[in-house]
Chains A and B, each alone.
Chain A
Amino acid sequence: MKADMEFSLVHDGRQWVVHNDTLVARGDKFETLDADLKRALLETGKFPPGARVMVFMGFDFDTIPTWLRQYHTHYFNRFVTLDL
């Protein structure tokens, strides 16, 4: 599956955060995270309102404590279709 944009996903202790070199979006649940990301994408002006954008969010496993990484190497990834 090909994504239009790729982001790194982390949890800062309070909220889910997605970011790449140019964008940051946050939300306490995935629903609010996705809504904030839609807003951020529209603000860039790269996508017109009504556009459909496929987004990949790869969880940054480096945020898992080092001692735990030896037990498992993958958390999860998300593919989300956003209708802007």
Chain B
Amino acid sequence: MLSTEDWWAVWLGLILFFAGLFTIWGTDLVGWMTKIKTWELTSLISDFSWSKLLAPSGKAYKDMHPFLSLLTTYAVFAALVCVGAYFQRLNVKRFFWGFTIIFFITWAVWIIGHEVHFKALKTTQSVMQSEIYGPDVYCTTKVNKCSVEINKALKALNVDITAGQQPDAETAAKAVDEAKHALRLSWGLQLGGGFSYMLALAVGLIIGNLFKGFARFLKEAAKPEWFIKTAIVYLGIKLGLMSMKATGFAVELALAGAAATFVAYLFFWPIVYTLSRKVFKLRRDASAVLSSGISICGVSAAIATAGAIRARPILPVAVSMLIVVFAMVELVVLPTFYSTVAPDQPIVNGAALGMTVKTDGADAAAGAILDELMVANNYRATGVLWESDWILSAAVLTKIWIDVFIGVWAFLLAVIWVYKVERSPGEEHVGASEIWFRFPKFVLGYFIAWFTYVGIAIWFPEAIKAASAGASIVQSPMRKMMFMLTFVAIGVITDFSKLKGMGRLAVLYAIALFAIVAPIAYVAAYIFHRGMMPPVVAG
């Protein structure tokens, strides 16, 4: 339980999860965590201040210098991951330096991505009533907060929006000037947090493909699966908080994800296996490993299946290289594709992504980009702001069901292979313990975090507000930092030149993924998730 990254995602997740719970008793153990602010270039250049870029998350730490907050964040996370690296028998010295570089690259990219022209969305007033407020009013925080600020300023100017009154253009302009987080810009891309993610991915890919010596040095600490599994444990807290407000929807999402995954499974594997055997004439073991890799949960499934059928280890290694590279292609292509083709199906898109994108890191990363893109796009088009992270949760929940199922699937394959396909005299039995060996342990952390907050909501409703204070820090800035680390790390370990020499396998992989898995996943996601929409942000 101390030697695998899977368990260390649980420990890293739960240590900070429990630290966050201390706000219930009035002690903030996580408020030192840096949160990032939306900033404006000319303002920063004319009068540089770290407080324009960063701030400590907790009220108890409001006097802490923002840069000290960043150093504290680095020190705490570097210490925790280095302890994990030690127990995982990694080269701790190399891991430390690699993590340090990845950490500061990540934060530099994250800060750049928060420049207001890239990130900020227009205010609701600017989207819906541009003839009064002008089309150029942007918000440097959550848009519902800007709406409240503008409406409050209008009330001070004797215009009560809640009573149906509307301001003239001059009064509206004054109110915008009064609102702390609203500002006028000559241009803005309105990409939300998605721009930071895409930038981090691009930087990681540049390092991984153009600076290979540097990438090799960083690889000891480039652990996208560890980072994302930890982030998913933190996401359990977010789902717990969301469940407090919309329990029925969260449960419905989880059950629909399980059903869609089960149905999709019944089609994916046999079709891809048949294609591999009949059309591409692959050997039985190669077909099985590739089918699992493409149709189940990527690298993890390829290794589990290869182990189950006792394949030579070189087979899952080769297939895994393909999976990692194609996961990157999916991560880049699918969020934009789904959000463009089906802008009115946010939850369906999220669930389809969860069933299509292989590896946890790429799936959660793609889910995060899809979430940001769809929320921003829908807001720009309709003025309706969906609550963030529901689309991401749909993507992660379906993926988690797939991960959980791999243990059972590998066990069934092992039984079939050992007793039927390649029966070896004397081979005793396949232990059911294999299911537990292959069970993704980080899922335990995810459910513990989720159900703890549901439990607080049910049995200690008076503690919700205090619990939310700590939980918000762990599930937002900490989780998003782990996502950002994942984006950089996944780029660093993705080397497109590894596709060389994989001709037939690569063609099969591409056909199976885009012509079989993706369409079936979308149909299954549509059947089970159609009509489900994220709650709308109030205010």
* Chain A positions near chain B (C-beta within 8 angstroms): 1, 11, 13, 30-31, 34, 54, 59, 63-83
Contact = CB atoms under 8 A, between A and B. Distances in A.
Contact of A11 (B298, B304, B312, B434): B312
Most buried by B among A1, A65, A66, A67: A67
B320 interface: yes
Contacts of B298: 71
B359 interface: yes
Interface residues of B, number: 39
A30 B426 CA distance: 10
- Between A31, A63, A82, A83, the greatest number of chain B beta carbons within 10 A of the residue's beta carbon is seen for A31
B434 A82 contact: no
A72 B299 contact: yes
Nearest to B321: A68
B219 A59 contact: no
A54 B426 CA distance: 9
B286 to A, nearest CB: 15
A75 B438 contact: no
Nearest to B313: A11
Contact of B303 (A72, A77, A82): A72
Nearest to A68: B320
- Counting chain A CB atoms within 10 Å of each CB, the highest count among B226, B300, B308 belongs to B300
15 contacts: A59-B307, A64-B303, A66-B90, A67-B493, A71-B300, A73-B6, A74-B307, A75-B303, A76-B434, A77-B434, A78-B310, A79-B427, A79-B428, A80-B427, A82-B426
A68 to B, nearest CB: 6
A71 B320 contact: yes
B314 interface: yes
A30 B429 CA distance: 15
A79 B414 CA distance: 13
Given A64-B313, A74-B307, A76-B434, A30 B424 contact: yes
B322 to A, nearest CB: 13
A81 B220 CA distance: 40
Nearest to B224: A70
A59 to B, nearest CB: 7
A79 B426 CA distance: 8
B4 interface: yes
A79 B223 contact: no
Given A66-B220, A74-B437, A82-B426, 5 more contacts: A11-B312, A30-B422, A67-B219, A71-B320, A79-B428
B223 A30 contact: no
B425 interface: yes
